[in-house]
Amino acid sequence: MRTFQVVVERDPETRLYVGYVPGWPGAHSQGESLDELQSNLQEVVDMLLEDGEPEFESEFVAIQTIQVA
């Protein structure tokens, strides 16, 4: 079983959850709920892995919080 980090956002216009695997072109999807998004992302990643190992354009490191005055 493989594990990938996923960034999840909510589109302010459509109110859909949008998720993507950072640095992996094509590894993105959307859903009306977090459960639907997760299922959709799993399906996309499964299909992409059928083509072989992913070639990442960048490496996900972390999400940080900053403070500004």
Whole-number pLDDT of residue 15: 98
Tell me yes or no: is domain 1-69 CATH 3.30.160.250.
Answer: yes
The bridge status of strand 28-31 relative to strand 17-20 is antiparallel
- Domain ranges in the chain are 1-69
Whole-number pLDDT of residue 1: 85
Whole-number pLDDT of residue 25: 95
From first to last of its 69 residues, the chain has per-residue pLDDT tens of 899 999 999 999 999 999 999 999 999 999 999 999 999 999 999 999 999 999 999 999 999 999 999
In a 10 Å sphere around its CB, with 0-12 CB exposed, 13-18 middle and 19+ buried, how is residue 66 labelled?
A: exposed
